[in-house]
Structure 1
Amino acid sequence: MSERLRDYHGKRDFGRTREPEGRQAPRGAAPRFVVQIHDASTMHFDFRLQVGDVLKSWSIPKGPSDVPKDKRLAVPTEDHPLEYEEFEGVIPEGEYGGGTVIVWDRGTYEPLSHDRQGRPVDFAESLERGHATFRLHGTKLRGQYALTRFRADNWLLVKTAEGRAARGHGTPDPRRARSVRTGRTLAQVAAEEN
Structure 2
Amino acid sequence: MARSDRLAEYRSKRDPSRSGEPVGRGLGAGDGDRFVIQRHDASTLHFDFRLQVGDVLVSWAVPKGPSLDPADKRLATPTEDHPLDYAEFEGRIPEDEYGAGTVVVWDTGTYRNLTERRGEQVPIAEAVDGGHLLVWLDGRKLTGAFALTRMRGREQWLLVKRDDEGADRRRKPAVTQPESVLSGRTNEELAGE
> Which of 135, 159, 162 does residue 161 from structure 2 map onto?
159
Q: Per-residue displacement from partner, 1:161-183 (whole Å, max 9, x unpaired)? A: 13x69424134327x61100000
- Long gaps (5+) in structure 1: none
Partner of 1:109: 111
Partner of 1:82: 84
In the alignment, structure 1 residue 144 sits paired with structure 2 residue 130? no
1:109 is displaced (CA, Å) by: 0.1
Q: Per-residue displacement from partner, 1:44-66 (whole Å, max 9, x unpaired)? A: 11000000100000000000111
Partner of 1:26: 29
1:77 is displaced (CA, Å) by: 0.3
Does the Cα contact within 8 Å between 2:47 and 2:63 map onto a contact in 1? yes
Q: Per-residue displacement from partner, 1:111-162 (whole Å, max 9, x unpaired)? A: 01111x2011111101111110010000001000100001421000001013
Tell me, in whole angstroms, the C-alpha distance in 1 between the residues paired with 2:181 and 2:15. Answer: 27
- Aligned AA for 1:123? I
In the alignment, structure 1 residue 99 sits paired with structure 2 residue 101? yes
Does the Cα contact within 8 Å between 1:62 and 1:171 map onto a contact in 2? no
Partner of 2:182: 181
SS of the aligned residue for 1:16 comes to helix
- Aligned AA for 1:36? Q
1:14 is displaced (CA, Å) by: 1.9
In the alignment, structure 1 residue 135 sits paired with structure 2 residue 139? no
1:17 is displaced (CA, Å) by: 1.2
Does the Cα contact within 8 Å between 1:72 and 1:156 map onto a contact in 2? yes
1:67 is displaced (CA, Å) by: 1.4
1:26 is displaced (CA, Å) by: 2.2
Does the Cα contact within 8 Å between 1:90 and 1:101 map onto a contact in 2? yes
- Long gaps (5+) in structure 2: none
1:13 is displaced (CA, Å) by: 1.2
Partner of 1:126: 127
SS of the aligned residue for 1:8 comes to helix
Tell me, in whole angstroms, the C-alpha distance in 2 between the residues paired with 1:160 and 1:69. Answer: 9
1:185 is displaced (CA, Å) by: 1.0
1:9 is displaced (CA, Å) by: 0.5
> Which of 56, 76, 84 does residue 58 from structure 2 map onto?
56
TM-score relative to the length of structure 1: 0.92
Give percent identity, aligned residues only. 54
Aligned residues: 188
